[in-house]
Chain A
Amino acid sequence: MLQVKNLSKKFGDITAVNKISFEAKLGEVVGFLGPNGAGKTTTMRLVTGFLTPNEGKITIKGLPPKQAHHLIGYLPEDNPLYYQFTPLEYLKFIGEMNRLSKTRLEKRLDYVIRNFNIGQVLSQTIETLSRGFKQRVGLAASLIHDPELVLMDEPTSGLDPNQQMEIRKMIKKLAKDKAVILSTHFLAEAKSVCDRVIIIHHGNIAAEEKLTDLKRKRQSLVKLFSRLTRE
């Protein structure tokens, strides 16, 4: 589904991402772990086509990111939303931009509204919603066009433990027929949701492990993370 080869990104003299390679398959949740400034968000922005790499190649179903926007669902860091829209207006806008036909859009609206349980806030403006509802609206928008590749940048950051659990359940549910990449600070989240983790440090991939392999090797993700990312 997603193939990334020798990807590098520089901002002036600073190398944010340094020759990283990885892939993600349908039905798989890949977790990006790393301290602040490790290069997780930059990598996500490169994969979505928001940024252009200095080196390397990204293909999504064989297409470069800028031609594959319809295949990508993206929840950026801090969940930016158009606050003066109601959730319904916002979801319709994103759906129309993704060229969903009227009947398909109706079906998808019905699906995301039911699955993210946002029916009761559809006509309120987004700015009046609680943080948890805002997060659900952001997630619903990233999935309205039923994308095959979903990228979520810290999807549970700032939520209370109940809301975090709820969002994690949703991610697990949607991952069945999609390739999901999520970046997170929470190792417990990575353990409960991801099939594979990629630890990024100083723009490099410090480790890439399947969680089942870690379990088999009786290795702790917490210890591995702190060993690899200690300054």
Chain B
Amino acid sequence: MDKKSLFTLLKKEIYYNYLISPLGYIFAALFSVISIWLFIQDLFLINQASLSPLFSLFPFLLLFFLPAITMNLFAEEKKSKTWEILLTLPTGEKEIVLSKFLAALAFAIFSMLMTIPLVVIVGVLGTPDWGTIISSYFGVTLLIACYISLGIFFSSLTKNPIVSFLGSISFLLVNFFLGQENTLSRLPVLLAKIISYLSLTFHYQSFTQGQIPIDSLVFFVSWVFVFLWLTIVSLKSRDY
């Protein structure tokens, strides 16, 4: 791994895709507004200052937001042919993929941190379980990493950002619904067990209950590793 070129690429990705692009600002603003709105709704309707409803909505909410961030990452480079420049610079596919992943992850975490004022409100109004809040944020971060790695993979498969967007959403929606209780309860026990294990939401739920299970941690990390590796393979297959 060439750290110097990774750092230069990372700088370029953050600056080019998020700082000078309006998409980054729109994403951050929309994400914050929706999160705050969901939180306030609960605060006034059920008279409860809790972050749990917000954390339980994140998997579904991010499922639409993150593919919008990742859809361009490779598809646009292919469409505008700049990937020919990128892939003939003195660096490798590994550094290129990792830089795009890390930049998108950093940006998504930054957007998520905009919900910190809500944590402060909860702290002022009630007596929250800080351990659960911390493990939930950790879980969301892992979930974001999984969504982004999958989105980057879909973006590497096509020149069309819309195809990449719809591909990522479809895959994540199927994965999301497979992890829901009402889907799993209709399946034979063994099959339900296998399918729930492959569902991101299933693993994420433990984090929102204040736990950090090692097997879920391994699952999330493996997911990211597999999709980043598939993206590298997809870039290398430009020959065919």
Contacts and interface: CB of A to CB of B under 8 A. Distances in A.
B8 interface: yes
Contacts of A77: 81
B12 interface: yes
A78 B83 CA distance: 13
A70 B90 contact: yes
B80 A93 contact: no
Given A96-B8, A97-B8, A97-B9, A69 B84 contact: no
A49 B238 CA distance: 12
Interface in A156-215: none
A76 B85 contact: yes
A69 B89 contact: yes
B20 A50 contact: no
Contacts of A48: 88
Tell me what chain B mostly uses at the interface: helix, strand, loop, or mixed.
helix
B16 A85 contact: yes
Contacts of B90: 69-70, 97-99
A221 interface: no
B89 A50 contact: no
A74 B8 contact: no
A85 B12 CA distance: 10
Contact of A97 (B84, B91, B239): B91
Interface in A1-23: 11-12
A50 B8 contact: no
Interface in B5-26: 5, 8-9, 12, 15-16, 20-21
A72 interface: yes
B5 A97 contact: yes
B5 A50 contact: no
Interface residues of B, number: 22
Nearest to A70: B90
A50 B90 CA distance: 11
Contacts of B85: 74, 76, 80-81, 94, 141
A52 interface: yes
B84 A45 contact: yes
B87 interface: yes
Contacts of A72: 88
A94 B89 contact: yes
B4 interface: yes
Given A69-B89, A85-B16, A97-B89, A80 B81 contact: yes
Contacts of A69: 88-91
A11 B89 contact: no
Contacts of A96: 8
A128 interface: no
A66 B182 CA distance: 52
Contacts of A97: 5, 8-9, 89-91
B82 interface: yes
Contact of B81 (A70, A78, A93): A78
Nearest to A53: B239
Interface string A58-100: 0000000000011010101110111111000100011011110
Interface string A93-110: 110111100000000000
A51 interface: yes
B87 A50 contact: yes
B44 interface: no
Interface string A37-54: 000000001001111100
Interface of A: 11-12, 45, 48-52, 69-70, 72, 74, 76-78, 80-85, 89, 93-94, 96-99, 141
6 contacts: A50-B88, A51-B238, A69-B89, A80-B85, A81-B82, A83-B80
Given A76-B81, A94-B89, 5 more contacts: A11-B240, A50-B88, A50-B238, A74-B85, A78-B81
